[in-house]
Structures are given as C-alpha cells and as structure tokens.
Structure 1
Amino acid sequence: MAEKVVLITGGAGGIGMDTAKAFLEQGDRVVLVDINQEALDKTKDVLEADEAQIKVIQANVTEESDVANYVQETVDAFGRIDVFFNNAGINGPHKMIKDLEKEHFESIMGINVTGVFLGLKHVIQQMEKQGFGSIINTASNAAYIGSPGMPGYIASKHAVVGLTKTAALETAAQGIRVNAVAPAAIDTQMLTAIQSNISPDDPEAAAAAIRQGIPVGRFGTPMEVAQIVLFLASDKSSFVTGSIYNVDGGMQAD
C-alpha cells in the first residue's frame, strides 16, 4: 500500500514529531499519541497537516484502557494500523542505584517497559486481524551497556530489546514484523535533560563530554532516526524482523 496508517506514541517529542513529518511528506496518515495534550496540539500545528492526514490522541501509555482506546480510535478513524512506532519514553533522575527512589525507578519502568508492552499487546491484536503490519520500538544504546547514575533507563531499554525479539518471534508467522531503533546522543529535549541531570551547574560540560565519545563527532538529529523508522516500516525491510538498528554515530562500535 502506497499510503500507510502510522501510529506514533511519544508523538509530541523530537523524534516522534520528525518521524511524523517524514511519514506525512510521503503521503501517509499519522496518529500521534502523547500524555501532553498541549504539546500534541502544538505539534499538530507545526506539522500543518489537515484532518484527513493527522489525528492526535491524549493518552497515558501505562494505562491499559488508554492504550486500548488509542488503538481503537486509530482503527475507527483510518480503518487499520500499518505501522506502529512504539516510541514513548522518559529518562529519569541521574542517581546511583543506592540513591534512586523506588517511585522514580517504577515510573521509568512504567513508561519505558509497561508502556511498550501494552502498545505491543493491543497493536499486535489488531495487526493479527489484518494479517500484516510493521512495529518499531524505541530502544537505545543504553540497551547494550551499563551507565552509572542511569539504572532505571538502562534496565528499561534492555527490557525493550527483549520485548522486541520476543514479539518478533511470536508474530513472524502472522505477517507482522517487529524491530527496534537504538538511538544515542540525539539532539532532543531528552538529551538536554540528561546533560542537566549529569551536570546541573554546567550542562554544556556534560554535552562536550558526550560529544567526545561519539566517533562522528556530533549529536544526531531526530530526522536521522526517522529515516531508519521509515525503512523498517517499508517493504524494503520485508525480510527484517527481530533486529535492533543502532543510530548512534558509531558509539556502539567504539
């Protein structure tokens, strides 16, 4: 199908918005999901798409009723879900395991793991009815490493990779492909927050230290992630499932 129906969680964030823009530019229809209604409305205005092309839905990805609703609203509006970009996520405070509050750990795991699981659960149910679909989860280079001060985020992204591989095996015979992108050091609000968490008094020093560890010598852009999502959503990747695509300027290879 030349025209796809694309569902994106975390749709008001930098990667979500640029991915939506990329899909809209090739004539697809997009549904954006985010917990922040005001941010969703601003994103919709920035994208300048008409009502026939874009829909926004406020939802908490950790609430199963909200997830079931955003899936149903997408199907009601556009008839199917061709592509699901399971992208919502948070980072959390920069604290060592011994200092991290239980509620902060649970909050990170709730959005980054339970939210991904619930999205998979309900979208897979719809895609099995259709007999086709492509799902792309957002992992991170954090899925491969340990990092002092980021226990919740690291643990959550390891879990996303496990869910991706398991879902891929469970759905391969049903015409559904499940993959993940693993971005690192992408110039977004989350990266800015990480820098501030690492070094509240001098975030630019944290930014310089991060850039120093990137072989290509710069931060990535949300659109560079979006282009990999487009590939994984397309028939060009028809024999790809259960894979994790690094978008990290060579960091994982170093």
Structure 2
Amino acid sequence: MSERRVAVITGGGSGLGQAVAFRLAKEGVHIVVVDISEEAGQKTVHLVEELGTRAIFVKADVSKAEEVKAYVDKTVEEFGTIDMFYNNAGISGPGVKFVDNTIEQIDMVLGINLNGALYGLKYVLEVMLANGGGRIVNTSSTAGIVGQATVGTYSAAKHAMVGITKTLAAEYAAQGIVVNAIAPGTTETPMVREYKEKNPDAFVNATEPIPQKRLGQPEEVAELVTFLLTGNAPYINGVVVPIDGGFTAI
C-alpha cells in the first residue's frame, strides 16, 4: 500500500475537479480521476503525472450506482485506501424556469448531481470507516444557499448537498471522518461556458451582483478544497464555505 495519501476526484477531467487534481498533486497526493469522458480524464492523469505523483483514470457515469462502486473498488485495488474524496461531478441543466423542464431533464440533473454524489459518499465512506477516517469535500453552489432563477433542479440538488454534509459530519465525526462542502459562485469552468453559450441572456450582467465584480477562477476554488482536504483544518467539520466574491454576503 502506498505511503502517500490518495484522493478520489469525480468530474476530474475538467473545471474544478481538474484544478483540484493539479493542486493536490503538488502536495504529493496520489490522484484517482473519475470522469465520464475518457479523453478528458486521461489528459488530467497525464498532467498530474508530470507534477511528479501517481494518477489513474476510471471512467464512470456517476448516476449509475454500480459504476460508482466500481471506481471505489478500483481505487482500493490500486492504492489500498481512500484518504480524501472530492465529490464534485455535476451538470448545470437546461437553464429554463422549472415548469419548462422535461421530466427527463429533471431526472438527468438529479441522477448526476444528487444520486451520483450520494452513491459516492456511501461507497467511499465504507472504505474510510474501515480504514480509520478520511476527509470529504462536497461541491454545493451558491444555488445551494440562495434561490437562483432557471436552475431549479440543480439548486435542489445543491441544497441537498448542504444537508448531507451536515448529516454526515454529525454521524461520523467520532470515527475520524471530516465532511465539509464548498459553495462556489459562478466560476469560469467548461460547464459554465457551455451554460453561457446556451443561455447568453443570463450572462449579460453576470458580474453585476458580485461585490468583487468578476467571476471566480478554478484555481481559487482548488486552494480552498485543498485546505479542507489535506488536514490543515481538522476542527472545521460540517460547514459549507462560500467562495463567491461576496455574492451570498449581500
């Protein structure tokens, strides 16, 4: 079994997941990149290995419990343990008011953003509990803290991430598990760029409500996630940390 720490990152092929993979690799952490895109995931693996640590890719559709269990099993097979879990995979949804969503769109967003996250927590926690502890960061959103139009199903899933974070902290703190969540504001990731292309009107004044008058950068989020995952904050547990330029402060 490796002496280095091991982190599993879902949605690790791009955006926040990729940025966190790079940042943790600089700390010498072994990285398991989970993504539905093999091309994107393998690219992250290659770039992580250039930073001097070991990485593997596991292809998975996180909305399918059996594929989630498979990435957890593969991690244990390769590394023997899971010390850190960045529970991050997600999609934005169609960008329409809630009634205009199709049932299929609702099911897809919840399947990935909520069910996929819960499946990951269940199977990763089983490993962490058996091995004496671990650290988890869930990706929520400002849409998981306040209401935001046209992201209803996404918002429902991200509010749920707040609830599960607090519940797990209460349930498993005594077993050495630390669970927190982050709530990024609009951050310049491929998912946000795709949403912007489909819904340009929503971005006409995108920075106006943000006190800092700019969007976030993935690297800024990665610094926060790394801080929470790498053991520098052992008494921060069960909280949701906004990283949004002050958006939810006003």
TM-score normalised by structure 2 residue count: 0.94
The whole-number CA distance in structure 2 between the counterparts of 1:77 and 1:49 is: 19
Matching of residues 225-236 of structure 1 within 5 Å: 225-236=221-232
> Once the 2 structures are TM-superposed, how far is the Cα of residue 44 of structure 1 from its aligned partner?
2.3
What root-mean-square deviation, in Å, do the aligned CA atoms of Structure 1 and Structure 2 show?
1.8
Residues 72, 253 of structure 1: alpha-carbon distance in 2 compared, 3 angstrom cutoff: same
Answering whether residue 53 of structure 2 is matched by residue 57 of structure 1, we say no
Query: CA offsets, 1:110-157, max 9 Å, x none?
Result: 101001100000000000001110010000000112222211111111
Structure 1 position 70 matched with structure 2 position 66:
no
CA distance in 2, matches of 1:44, 1:14: 14
User: Separation in 1 of the partners of 2:3 and 2:146?
Assistant: 38
- Counterpart amino acid of 1:21? F
What are structure 2's unaligned runs of at least 5 residues?
Answer: none
Aligned partner of 1:173 in structure 2 is 174
1:89 aligned partner: 90
Q: Classify 1:2/1:217 alpha carbon distance in 2 versus 1 (closer, same or farther; 3 Å).
A: farther
Unaligned runs of 5+ in 1: 200-204
> Runs ≥4 in structure 1, deviation > 4 angstroms?
none
Q: Does 1:105 align with 2:127?
A: no
How far apart, CA to CA, are the structure 2 residues paired with 1:233 and 1:2? 17
For 1:75-122, what per-residue CA distance to the aligned partner results, in whole angstroms no more than 9, with x for missing partners?
A: 111111110000000001011122110110110011010011000000
TM (norm. structure 1) is 0.93
The sequence identity of aligned pairs, in percent, is 39
Residue pairs, 1:1-254, within 5 angstroms: 3-49=4-50, 53-199=54-200, 206-254=202-250
CA distance in 2, matches of 1:10, 1:141: 19
User: Cα offset for 1:2?
Assistant: 8.4
Matched positions, count = 249
Residue 45 of structure 1: how far off its partner (Å): 2.9
How far apart are the structure 2 equivalents of 1:99 and 1:26? 45
Cα distance in structure 1, aligned partners of 2:53 and 2:74: 14
Q: Given residue 5 of structure 2, which amino acid in structure 1 is its aligned partner?
A: K
- Please state how far the C-alpha of 1:41 moved relative to its aligned partner: 1.8
Q: Is the 8 A contact 2:25 2:52 kept in 1?
A: no
